[in-house]
Structure 1
Amino acid sequence: MLSIKPYLYLVFFALITGTTFHVAKEALASFSPSLAGALRFIFATLFLFLFVLLTDRKLLKVDKRNLIVFVSLGIIGVFGFNFFFFMGMKKASPMNAAIVIAASPAIAIFLSYFLLNTKIKFQHYLGTLISFLGVVLVISDGSMVALTNAFHGEGILPILIAATCWSFYSVGMKKYIPGVSTIQTTAFTALFGTIALLVLTLINGDWSVGFKDIPNSAWLSILYMAGLSTFLGYLCWNYGIQAVGPDKAVIFGNLIPVIAMLTSWVLGEAPNVFDLGGAFLVILGIFIVNAKLQWAKLNRKVEVSK
């Protein structure tokens, strides 16, 4: 019987990440995007390695082959995603970006087919499409004009590259380091991604900030993103990927806009019928991708009985 545990971890990841959008606004009011990302991962990496020291110090010893993979996935999944995402966000609206990011499950399914030789079933295509339509409905509020503008907006290409980086990071863990500890994978990919982010911020000169003048609310936002959406979030995501495979796990990312919508609801912005309908489609799509459809078994039983 398949354990529900990895799916709960994936839902928890979406829950944390969905609430992060509102928290990030407070941090970006005081820090540049690249500096906010660097600070977030500096603290998160410290949390991760402290966790390793307290739980299993053997994980600090890394096989040479795995080390190369950790460096590659850290640069692609941490640095690459953040670099292209923030580059695109300079021109793209949040709506445009969210719609493009929602293409990640389709990209991951494509990569799983070629890198993992995953057998892609019709239910995967159907569920991914339904979930994507749900994201579009949540973000566009049913406006065809807004939807058309989204796909013609600036900054789309970098956001699409960011989505591809995240998908490759997810599939790469299953392909190149199967069976490796989730904690070790998360800690070392975060470390090398953080190093790359630090180099970028130093080149950009983003460190020339009056840190003494930064309000406590901005620092608390950074710590929230580091401790929850990065430290716990990445652990949950990587565990889910290893447990159920990227072709089934990545679609949970489409819950993020829904969680963001629900967060806005809690903060006083009531959802409309398009938000609720889109949320239903996202959840339905996730169910279809991960459900064990019974009709195939019934067909086999009929054939045997003849």
Structure 2
Amino acid sequence: MLELRRVDAGLMSRLSARTALLMTLPPLLWAGNAVVGRLAVGSVPPLALNFLRWALAALLLLPLGWHALRDPSAIAKRWKYLLAIGLLGVGTYNSLQYLALVTTTPINVTLIAASTPVWMLMVGALFHGEHPTRRQIAGALLSLAGVLLVIARGDLQALARIHFVIGDLYVLVAVIAWAFYSWLLARPPATMQPPQRPDWDWAGLLLLQTLFGLLGAGAAAAAEAAITHAGVQWNGWVVAALLYVAIGPSVIAYRCWGVGVVQAGPAMAAFFANLTPVFAALLSAALLGEAPRWYHAVAFALIVGGIVVSSRK
């Protein structure tokens, strides 16, 4: 029995390290997505960018997850769940994020997105009976402090000078949608749990989620085109940007996020999501040729400290 406990403890240790890596990669890729989305303003309409991103992602996933399409009856039986995670994770969240980048500033987007752990904990408490612990609350405050330090660039008085616009509301709705999406991944209905769940691997499930999400993303892009009459200005940079957002922030990041949420829980995953503004600051500094400042290191320590505090038992 003692040897079994030692083996289990070692397995949990490796599992925790693997989960931490899985939860760190998506914020890095999503930080790059925010930078690309901001640079794409003027070249690709925001809702069209989201639709093209996920249409290309679906084509990339098709050779990997096509087997999930072989049983239409299994899909029809679970269409409500697939539609929900598709609209929340592919349609609503990403559409609103790109739309917000047109009308608001990156500093405001980061500030509002920093409330993700709070919404994760609220959704868990209100709809899933998962009440936050003191450590989770303390971890959320530490992570939020780190994000605010990055946003203020080391000058906390700068936070008082921030002005909010309509794009900020888009980000708030997007964050709430992401909280519900993450909890649906971690707490699926009985038809999506063994033994009732079909034999779908990660690629098949993500493909189905993407196809259902494209229903909403496509409708939004069509409405955008009808109202604004704006089109895509095709060039080499736009093609490269679409390839990046379709492969990195979509296929790779969503795969890692899905596994990490199931293993660590939505609340824990939300703390890792707060690494996004830190990575965004570092990527922006690299693209602009500016060296990282002292507050980047302090903010990173605070955010990681929040992860450690909330995960300790």
Q: What TM bracket, shorter-length normalisation?
A: 0.7 to 0.9
Equivalences for 1:35-46 in 2 at 5 Å? Answer: 35-46=48-59
Q: How many Å separate the matches in 1 of 2:129 and 2:157?
A: 39
Residue 301 of structure 2: aligned partner? 280
Residue 154 of structure 2: aligned partner? 142
1:38 CA drift (Å): 1.0
Q: How many Å separate the matches in 2 of 1:109 and 1:60?
A: 37
1:123 CA drift (Å): 0.7
1:109 and 2:121 correspond:
yes
Q: How many Å separate the matches in 1 of 2:138 and 2:260?
A: 21
Given the alignment, which residue of 236, 256, 266 partners 2:276? Answer: 256
| Matched AA of 1:281 | L
Given the alignment, which residue of 6, 10, 28 partners 1:15? Answer: 28
1:119 CA drift (Å): 4.1
Residue 311 of structure 2: aligned partner? 290
Percent identity, aligned pairs only, is: 24
TM-score by length of 1: 0.85
Residue 226 of structure 1: aligned partner? 246
Structure 1 pair 241–140 and aligned structure 2 pair: CA distance change class (3 A):
same
| Matched AA of 2:308 | F
Gaps of 5+ in 2: 1-8
1:85 CA drift (Å): 2.9
Q: Which deviations, in whole Å up to 9, do the C-alpha atoms of 1:49-95 show, x marking residues without a partner? A: 22113xxx257533544321010121122211133334443432110
Residues 113 and 171, structure 2, Cα contact 8 Å, conserved in 1: yes
Q: How many Å separate the matches in 1 of 2:186 and 2:251?
A: 20
Q: Determine helix, strand or coil for the equivalent of 2:263.
A: helix
Runs ≥4 residues deviating over 6 A: none
Gaps of 5+ in 1: 293-306
Q: Which deviations, in whole Å up to 9, do the C-alpha atoms of 1:118-161 show, x marking residues without a partner? A: 242111000011001101101111334431233x4113322111
Q: How many Å separate the matches in 2 of 1:265 and 1:88?
A: 22
| Matched AA of 1:201 | A
TM-score by length of 2: 0.84
Residue 153 of structure 1: aligned partner? 164
Q: How many Å separate the matches in 2 of 1:275 and 1:248?
A: 22
Q: Determine helix, strand or coil for the equivalent of 2:93.
A: helix
Residue 80 of structure 2: aligned partner? 68
| Matched AA of 1:80 | T
Equivalences for 1:170-189 in 2 at 5 Å? Answer: 170-177=182-189, 179=193, 181-189=201-209
Residue 6 of structure 2: aligned partner? none
